[in-house]
């Protein structure tokens, strides 16, 4: 594999502030967030970044991690010169649980290598200019990473978190012609870690959030600290089967789905799909389909047509007593 361009250990140390042990190293500006608030934010974001690294490792099928997280307060205008350019920018917003915009920034060289790996290459010779197909691959990877990060994020602040649509572009951050609203703010929270991928030099994984969003995250963490899930009594006495208090749940709606089959595909194959494409599933013709309730398998059946609508004729089902624990 050809050697990949990356940052030297000295450059990584300078950018990450490695080796600093006191709390001031986490917030050199320190005019808005207290040391305690920085600690809270650091803990929440560290767990989120760990989840991002785990997903990246699974997606690329090689060792990967985001480590050595550092958080600083920066002036938005100064970040244009400090951040590495050109870069791949992923603009997205938290839309539920917490609300606010955020940026994910990857050096173009490592973003292009990730895209090449996703497209079936070895990452050693990605194209210098990333077309829509390669940007779509990067968008897919970052989307999976942020979804995993949001799940860990949600558990840290004890509330559901969702992210809206993403927009990925290659950007020259030093250009004042590029409209990035976060970089126009007086104070921006920069969260930067060391991105390591097996076979490549370490690079930076950077996330930017506004001061207002940082304070919302910190407040949500404090509000949820010490809150534990409610413990409910079991439905009826042992051996009561489907009787007892289960009648109280009979009017609660649940979602049902019929699954014809599944398959696994590479991103490059998904992006090549079009009208007339055929996707082979892991099920033979004539084999029963699965009936899922809230994602749990409860029965099997045959597909039928009823007045021009599809339906399912149940041919196999487990007993109600066995189904209750899985609903």
Consecutive sets of 10 residues in the chain, 327 residues long: mean pLDDT of each?
49 49 40 85 89 88 89 81 78 85 88 86 82 85 85 78 82 66 84 90 88 88 63 49 54 79 86 85 81 79 79 77 55
Q: What is the dihedral of CA 309, 313, 319, 322, to 10 degrees?
A: -50
Inside any domain, residue 238: no
87 burial (CB, 10 Å; 0-12 / 13-18 / 19+) is: buried
Residue 239 belongs to some domain of the structure: no
Provide φ and ψ at 298, rounded to 5°. Answer: -125, -15
Going 152 to 154 to 157 to 162, the CA torsion angle's sign is: positive
Tell me, yes or no, whether 241 lies in a domain. no
Give Dmax over CA atoms of the chain in angstroms: 72
204 with 297, same domain: the answer is no
| Residue 107 falls inside a structural domain | yes
> Where among 190, 224, 258 does a domain terminate?
224
Mark whether 128 and 21 lie in a shared domain: yes
278 and 177 within one domain: no
Q: Is residue 1 part of a domain?
A: no
Considering the domain architecture, whether residues 286 and 199 belong to the same structural domain is answered as no
Within this chain, do residues 188 and 309 fall inside the same structural domain, yes or no? Answer: no
CATH of the domain at 51: 3.40.1550.10
**Cα 196 from Cα 65, distance rounded (Å):** 5
Q: Are 109 and 212 members of one domain?
A: yes
Residue 179 falls within a domain, yes or no?
A: yes
Q: How far is CA 29 from CA 20, 32, 35, 202, 210, in A?
A: 15, 8, 11, 26, 15
Residues 196 and 306 in one domain: no
From CA 101, how far away is CA 173, in angstroms rounded?
A: 17
The predicted pLDDT at position 251 comes to 67
CATH number at residue 302: 2.30.330.10
Q: What is the pLDDT of residue 13?
A: 53
Q: Using alpha carbons, select from 57, 65, 68, 86 the residue that is nearest to residue 17.
A: 68
253 and 120 co-located in one domain:
no
My answer on whether 154 and 290 are in the same domain is: no
Question: Domain ends where: 167, 190, 224?
Answer: 224
Query: Whole domain around residue 297: which residue ranges?
Result: 247-326
In a domain, 233, yes or no: no
One domain, residues 134 and 262: no
Q: Does the reported pTM lie above 0.75?
A: no
219 plus 283 within the same structural domain: no
Domain-embedded: residue 103: yes
* Domain co-membership, 78 together with 115: yes
Q: Which residues contact 271 (CB under 8 A, 6 or more apart)?
A: 133, 136, 137
Q: Tell which of 193, 224, 255 closes a domain.
A: 224
Number of domains present in the structure of the chain: 2
């Amino acid at each position: 594999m050809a050697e990949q361009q990356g940052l030297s250990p000295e450059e990584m140390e300078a950018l990450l502030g490695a080796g600093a042990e006191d709390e001031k190293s986490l917030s050199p500006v320190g005019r808005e967030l207290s040391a305690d608030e920085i600690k809270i934010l650091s803990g929440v974001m560290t767990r989120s970044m760990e989840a991002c690294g785990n997903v990246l490792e699974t997606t690329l099928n090689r060792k990967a991690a985001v480590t050595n997280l550092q958080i600083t307060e920066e002036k938005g205008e100064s970040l244009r010169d400090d951040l590495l350019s050109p870069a791949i920018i992923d603009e997205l917003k938290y839309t539920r649980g917490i609300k606010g915009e955020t940026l994910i920034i990857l050096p173009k060289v490592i973003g292009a290598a990730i895209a090449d790996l996703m497209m079936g290459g070895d990452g050693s010779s990605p194209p210098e200019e990333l077309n829509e197909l390669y940007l779509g691959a990067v968008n897919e990877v970052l989307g999976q990473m942020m979804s995993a990060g949001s799940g860990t994020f949600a558990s840290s602040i004890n509330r559901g978190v969702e992210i809206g649509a993403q927009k990925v572009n290659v950007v020259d951050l030093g250009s004042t012609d590029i409209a990035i609203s976060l970089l126009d703010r007086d104070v921006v929270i920069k969260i930067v870690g060391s991105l390591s991928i097996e076979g490549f030099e370490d690079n930076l994984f950077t996330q930017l959030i506004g001061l207002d969003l940082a304070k919302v995250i910190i407040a949500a963490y404090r509000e949820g600290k010490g809150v534990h899930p409610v413990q409910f009594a079991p439905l009826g006495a042992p051996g009561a089967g489907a009787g007892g208090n289960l009648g109280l749940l009979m009017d609660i709606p649940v979602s049902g789905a019929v699954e014809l089959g599944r398959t696994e595909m590479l991103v490059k194959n998904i992006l090549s799909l079009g009208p007339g494409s055929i996707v082979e599933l892991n099920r033979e013709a004539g084999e029963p389909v699965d009936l899922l309730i809230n994602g749990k398998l409860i029965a099997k059946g045959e597909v039928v047509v009823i007045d021009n609508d599809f339906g399912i004729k149940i041919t196999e089902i487990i007993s109600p007593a066995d189904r209750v624990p899985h609903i």
